[in-house]
Amino acid sequence: LCQALLMGEKMERFHVLALDKKGKLLGHSCVSSGDDGETAVYPRIIVQVLLRFGAGACVLAHNHPSGELRPSQADIRLTKALAQMIQPLDITLSDHVIVGGDEVFSFAREGLLSQDFVGEHG
């Protein structure tokens, strides 16, 4: 679904997929659109979307129109901050996916959503 939403986009877009605790899609929303190099993402907006859908879990998804798959430092900071922000709300961050060209980078697959990662500050 993430690839279908973002593949071929010329501008950076950031989507939130709201899931129930079993991983069933409850809904999704594009929370930010930017230029070809970045987009401003506000964690407060993401939390509002998740609460509106009654999510128990979520997947973040955005694209890098350049085709670069590696997460930027801003991507990493946002992922950590959001994971920490939604934890007290009993919402799990299941993954953060970056679509670049026809390839996908998954924070979960790369082990970047572990408690060690999320708990680190910086």
What is the mean pLDDT of each successive set of 10 residues along the chain, which is 122 residues long?
59 90 95 73 93 97 87 91 94 94 90 70 46
Q: What angle do CA 67, 70, 76 make, to 5 degrees?
A: 130
Identify the pLDDT of residue 9. 61
**pTM recorded for the entire structure:** 0.86
Domain ranges in the chain? 2-96+107-119
Q: Topology of 2-96+107-119 in CATH?
A: Cytidine Deaminase; domain 2 (3.40.140)
Question: Are 55 and 20 a contacting pair, CB within 8 Å?
Answer: yes
Looking at residue 92, its pLDDT comes to 95
Q: Which residues contact 21 (CB under 8 A, 6 or more apart)?
A: 56, 57, 92
